[in-house]
Amino acid sequence: MPYWEIFTPENAFTDKDKERISEAITQMYVDWVDLPRFYVVVRFHDMPHNTMYVGGQAKNNFVRVVIDHIARRMDDPEFRKLCMAAIEELLAPFVKDRGHDWEVHIDETPMDLWRTQGITPPAPFSEMEKLWAKENRAVPYHYDTQLPLEEPAPAAL
């Protein structure tokens, strides 16, 4: 969580655009809901001409964004509106401002259907999740005690 798939016309985004979009997406989740950076995955799909269809018609300027949230749920309708507005604002310079048509949707997967590195992620906002964020990786831990199975990696000098 979150996992983004962005389907675009072929060559709609440069590699630099993809970096900027991915960094902005990651920072949004770090700032808003304290997610570990490595939780955020963004996958870009360049769609060759006449491979994206909308309403049965080829749509060669269409951008489709599919988002799956797992580590955090959006139960509050006002927060959902805020999140959707933030996503629209984040994408606008790359999509709307470039004349693309677009659509965005978010699914929410139950957290118990998620593993990373074969490990059940720790509870949201827990001390273990904070350790995962600090280490920027999955740290094996005892599920009962929520304590690490290993010592955290030493800080880089």
In a domain, 157, yes or no: no
The arrangement of strands across the sheet holding 3-9 comes to 41-47, 3-9, 62-69, 101-108
Q: What is the pTM of this model?
A: 0.88
State the pLDDT at residue 154.
62
Residue 42 phi, psi (nearest 5): -125, 125
Per-residue pLDDT of the chain (157 residues; tens, 9 = 90+): 899 999 999 999 999 999 999 999 999 999 999 999 999 999 999 999 999 999 999 999 999 999 999 999 899 999 999 999 999 999 999 999 999 999 999 999 998 999 999 999 999 999 999 999 999 999 999 888 878 886 656 666 6
In a domain, 31, yes or no: yes
User: What CATH number did the domain enclosing 11 receive?
Assistant: 3.30.429.10
In a domain, 94, yes or no: yes
In a domain, 136, yes or no: no
State the pLDDT at residue 116.
92
In a domain, 93, yes or no: yes
State the pLDDT at residue 13.
97
3-state SS assignment for residue 54? strand
Q: How many domains does the chain have?
A: 1
In a domain, 126, yes or no: no
